[in-house]
């Protein structure tokens, strides 16, 4: 029988490796930025076009490469970071596997320009699909500039799997944030389609966070510091009242490398226990420094997951450090029944001497002695009431009480009425056709049996079709706010809201002024409470960032879905009888009552025959 095992050609092997290293444009951004950092750069510029599908360019002022190194950098398993297997447990650099550039060059058009500080000229190399097209001498500044064009040009199937530009751009920005937050000592610039998105100068860690997420972030941060033999922690956590509906502001850095760890995230949640609203997530930006020998960072292709030798100890230290910071800065409540904050000494009087108050007592005062003349200690206008003829005080009381008992009519002050969500039309003769079960399901009787309706999903369907109609017909009713509401977002979040502003206005939102970091709202849809506005917009932004607007998807549809999901009644909410009936009637007036906006079943039917079988 003929041999069937053979070696793969290099270009095929490189494309297979690229599938592991490069999933999307953000993967290329991560690898190139980390290479620039390892090169000792203090200024790094990132330029992208069409969310990285057309162009990804990283320019740094690092040490550069020689002619030989520039050519060798595109070979598989070629790296300057390690020499033997033992170096894997003493890593202080980022790109150590030596596969990044080879994988990228296998599925894109790559142009490299590099020069060392002592060289007069640099090197330019162009590669297309692992094949070197040209290599020549070029005049270029110190450092390295690498351009990646037409990603996945030779693997159209992989290119078709890429999401929309909005989604891919979000992933690129996420990777940029992770690298920039880990290195506040490096200046970063980010350009997208010719416009500047970020200009981050060298700064301290707190200022770097503020520069990325907006000035309003500064007041949300609580510093966390802890230094032990096992672990050193530095960074910030967000105050509980600013917790978000998404996990977009959660960053762990171990030895300046971004990681994801559900175990350590649980330690943070445990420290915030009892301080967060249901469904919200705390923000944190924490740097953990450990001995490189105690971690293994080569267990995941993207190196975002690492393995610790002693996770339990790290968990306990991290939880205690965060909890201590929340208590130290009076974020967590203090259990002190004796303390009265109004009795605290003002800061302006700290250290000042106190004087004992003087009390003067009239030793000759006799409360039982009748005063003939006003006392010298009393004011001239005061006269002691006479005590004689005290019986006259009660004269006429008996007659008045008799008159009071002869009244013919009593009038009472009207009680204040609190209106319910719906008019109370239920009468004693009304038949109970609906019943709420476990504050989750609405049970309604029908001829063939009964309906079991999921109240939250049903309300989502009702609101979804209402919002969709308002946006389409442009007849959304708005209620004006007494005082305009100012909300703060990052520049990327504001861009999303501005893209949807016209559709939001059709639902009833009224916008006035907007800046680079804030948005002012003067009116909201009638059924939206003011306290829910920020939650609705945060949920909307999250949905837009995670959805894919393709041919079968529109921003209008997403907006209606997001608002319906935010405003629908939740599981566990008690409903009155007329509210239950309203949901049942409105649901079956919808065009698609069978499913929620997210295509989940809204109700089921249980026939009488099915019930009868249970009693056989």
What are the pLDDT digits (tens) for 159-196? 888 888 878 888 899 999 999 999 999 999 999 988 88
Pairwise CA distance, residues 352 & 355, whole Å: 10
DSSP conformation letters of 356-419: PPP----TT--TTSPPSS--TTS-TT--PPP-TTGGGGGTTHHHHHHHHTT------PPPPP--
Residue 439: band (very low, low, confident or very high) from pLDDT cuts 50, 70, 90: confident
Specify whether the CB–CB gap between 103 and 18 falls below 8 A.
yes
DSSP conformation letters of 494-535: HHHHHHTHHHHHHHT-EEEEE-SSEEEEEEEETT--GGGHHH
Question: For 46, which DSSP code?
Answer: E
> Which segments of the chain belong to CATH 3.30.1370.100?
434-547+554-605
CA distance to 26, 102, 111, 284, per residue, from 14 (Å): 19, 7, 18, 38
Q: Which helix (H) or strand (E) holds 52?
A: none
Is residue 536 classed exposed, middle or buried when 0-12, 13-18 and 19+ CB atoms within 10 A define those classes?
buried
Tell me which CATH code domain 10-200 carries: 3.30.565.10
Pairwise CA distance, residues 66 & 62, whole Å: 13
Lowest-confidence region among 117-126, 228-237, 353-362, 483-492: 353-362
CA dihedral 218→219→220→224, nearest 10 degrees, is: 70
Q: What residue spans of 81-204 are helical by DSSP H?
A: 100-106, 156-160, 165-182
Structure tokens at 100: 């990044």
Residue 340, helix vs strand vs coil: coil
Specify whether the CB–CB gap between 5 and 11 falls below 8 A.
no
State yes or no: pLDDT of 420 exceeds 70: no
User: What sign results for the dihedral spanned by CA atoms 361, 364, 368, 369?
Assistant: negative
What are the pLDDT digits (tens) for 217-239? 888 899 999 998 888 999 999 99
User: What sign results for the dihedral spanned by CA atoms 549, 551, 557, 561?
Assistant: negative
Nearest to 92 by CA among 354, 291, 320: 291
State yes or no: pLDDT of 428 exceeds 50: no
pLDDT for the residue 93? 64
What are the pLDDT digits (tens) for 7-33? 777 767 766 666 667 888 998 999 899
pLDDT for the residue 279? 78
Residue 384: band (very low, low, confident or very high) from pLDDT cuts 50, 70, 90: low
In the beta sheet, which residues pair with residue 59? 45, 145
Residue 333: band (very low, low, confident or very high) from pLDDT cuts 50, 70, 90: low
State yes or no: pLDDT of 292 exceeds 50: yes
Q: Give the contacts of 54 (CB within 8 A, at least 6 positions apart).
A: 149, 150
> Which segments of the chain belong to CATH 3.30.230.10?
212-328
pLDDT mean over 509-532? 80
Residue 130: band (very low, low, confident or very high) from pLDDT cuts 50, 70, 90: confident
Structure tokens at 268: 């943070």
Helix then strand then coil, in percent of the chain rounded to 5, is 35, 20, 40
State yes or no: pLDDT of 96 exceeds 70: no
> Which segments of the chain belong to CATH 3.30.565.10?
10-200
pLDDT mean over 103-118? 90
Q: Which helix (H) or strand (E) holds 114?
A: strand 109-115
Specify whether the CB–CB gap between 555 and 533 falls below 8 A.
no
State yes or no: pLDDT of 410 exceeds 50: yes
State yes or no: pLDDT of 102 exceeds 90: no
Structure tokens at 151: 């990603």
Residue with tokens 């450092």: 143
Q: Give the contacts of 434 (CB within 8 A, at least 6 positions apart).
A: 442, 443, 444, 577, 580, 581, 584
Pairwise CA distance, residues 178 & 533, whole Å: 29
Phi-psi region of 77 (alpha: psi -120 to 50; beta: other; left: phi over 0): left
Pairwise CA distance, residues 260 & 252, whole Å: 7
Please provide the average confidence, as pLDDT, over all residues in the chain. 80
Lowest-confidence region among 239-243, 462-466, 528-532, 562-566: 528-532
Q: Give the contacts of 538 (CB within 8 A, at least 6 positions apart).
A: 244, 245, 246
Pairwise CA distance, residues 614 & 72, whole Å: 75
Pairwise CA distance, residues 62 & 41, whole Å: 4
Residue 221, helix vs strand vs coil: strand
CATH 3.50.50.60 fits domain 212-328: no
Superfamily designation of domain 434-547+554-605: MutL, C-terminal domain, regulatory subdomain (3.30.1370.100)
State yes or no: pLDDT of 553 exceeds 80: no
Q: At what angle do helices 165-182 and 533-546 cross, to 10 degrees?
A: 100
pLDDT for the residue 570? 84
- Residue of higher predicted confidence among 560 and 414: 560
According to the 3-state scheme, what is the secondary structure of 286-330?
Answer: EEEECCHHHEECCCCCCCCCCEECCHHHHHHHHHHHHHHHHHHCC
Q: Give the contacts of 41 (CB within 8 A, at least 6 positions apart).
A: 60, 61, 62, 143, 186
State yes or no: pLDDT of 425 exceeds 50: no
In the beta sheet, which residues pair with residue 254? 257, 288
What are the pLDDT digits (tens) for 295-318? 776 656 566 777 788 888 899 999
Question: For 343, which DSSP code?
Answer: G
In the beta sheet, which residues pair with residue 478? 525
Number of H helices, E strands in the chain: 17, 22
Is residue 580 classed exposed, middle or buried when 0-12, 13-18 and 19+ CB atoms within 10 A define those classes?
buried
Specify whether the CB–CB gap between 77 and 100 falls below 8 A.
no
Specify whether the CB–CB gap between 292 and 92 falls below 8 A.
yes
Pairwise CA distance, residues 412 & 154, whole Å: 86
Q: In what order do the strands lie in the sheet with 441-446?
A: 434-437, 441-446, 449-454, 603-607
């Amino acid at each position: 029988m003929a041999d069937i095992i053979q070696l793969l050609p290099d270009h095929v092997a490189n494309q297979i490796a690229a599938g592991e290293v490069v999933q999307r444009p953000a993967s290329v951004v991560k690898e190139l930025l980390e290479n620039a950092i390892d090169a000792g750069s203090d200024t790094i510029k990132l330029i992208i076009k069409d969310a990285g599908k057309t162009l990804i360019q990283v320019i740094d002022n690092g040490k550069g490469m020689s002619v030989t190194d520039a050519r060798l950098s595109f070979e598989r398993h070629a790296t300057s970071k390690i020499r033997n297997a033992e170096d894997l447990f003493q890593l202080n650099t980022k790109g150590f596997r030596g596969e990044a550039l080879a994988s990228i060059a296998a599925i894109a058009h790559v142009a490299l320009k590099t020069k060392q500080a002592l060289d007069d000229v640099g090197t330019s190399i162009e590669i297309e699909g692992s094949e070197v097209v040209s290599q020549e001498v070029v005049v270029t500044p110190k450092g390295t500039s690498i351009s990646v064009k037409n990603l996945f040009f030779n693997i159209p199937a992989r290119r078709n799997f890429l999401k929309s530009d909005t989604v891919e751009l979000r992933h690129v920005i996420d990777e940029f944030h992770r690298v920039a937050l880990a290195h506040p000592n490096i200046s970063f610039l980010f350009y997208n389609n010719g416009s500047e998105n970020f200009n981050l100068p060298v700064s301290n860690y707190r200022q770097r966070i503020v520069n990325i997420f907006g000035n309003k972030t500064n007041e949300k941060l609580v510093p966390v510091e802890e230094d032990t033999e096992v672990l050193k922690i530095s960074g910030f956590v967000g105050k509980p009242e600013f917790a978000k509906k998404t996990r977009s502001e959660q960053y762990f850095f171990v030895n300046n490398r971004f990681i994801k760890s559900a175990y350590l995230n649980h330690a943070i949640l445990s420290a915030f226990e009892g301080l967060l609203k249901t469904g919200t997530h705390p923000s944190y930006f924490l740097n953990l420094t450990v001995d490189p020998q105690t971690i293994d960072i080569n267990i995941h292709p993207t190196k975002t997951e690492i393995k610790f030798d002693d996770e339990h100890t790290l968990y306990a230290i991290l939880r205690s450090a965060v909890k201590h910071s929340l208590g130290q800065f009076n974020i967590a409540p203090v259990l002190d029944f004796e303390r009265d904050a109004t009795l605290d000494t003002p800061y302006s009087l700290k250290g000042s001497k106190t004087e004992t108050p003087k009390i003067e007592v009239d030793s000759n005062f006799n409360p039982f002695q009748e005063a003939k003349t006003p006392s010298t200690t009393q004011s001239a206008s005061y006269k002691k009431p006479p005590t004689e003829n005290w019986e006259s005080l009660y004269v006429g009381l008996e007659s008045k009480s008799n008159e009071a008992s002869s009244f013919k009519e009593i009038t009472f002050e009207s009680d204040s009425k609190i209106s319910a969500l719906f008019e109370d039309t239920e009468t004693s003769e009304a038949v109970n056709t609906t019943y709420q079960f476990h504050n989750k399901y609405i049970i309604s009787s029908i001829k063939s049996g009964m309906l079991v309706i999921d109240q939250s999903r049903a309300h989502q369907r009702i609101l979804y079709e209402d919002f969709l109609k308002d946006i389409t017909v442009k007849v959304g009713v708005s209620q004006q706010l007494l005082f305009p509401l100012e909300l703060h977002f990052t520049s990327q979040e504001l861009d999303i809201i501005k893209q949807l502003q016209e559709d939001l206005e059709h639902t009833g939102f009224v916008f006035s002024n907007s800046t680079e970091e804030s948005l002012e709202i003067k009116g909201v849809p009638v059924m939206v409470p003011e306290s829910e506005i920020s939650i609705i917009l945060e949920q909307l932004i999250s949905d837009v960032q995670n959805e894919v607007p393709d041919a079968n998807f529109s921003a209008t549809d997403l907006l209606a879905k997001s608002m319906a999901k935010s405003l629908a009644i939740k599981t566990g909410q008690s409903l009155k009888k007329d509210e239950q009936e309203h949901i049942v009637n409105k649901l079956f007036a919808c065009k698609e009552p069978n499913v929620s906006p997210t295509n989940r079943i809204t109700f089921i039917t249980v026939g009488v025959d099915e019930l009868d079988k249970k009693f056989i």
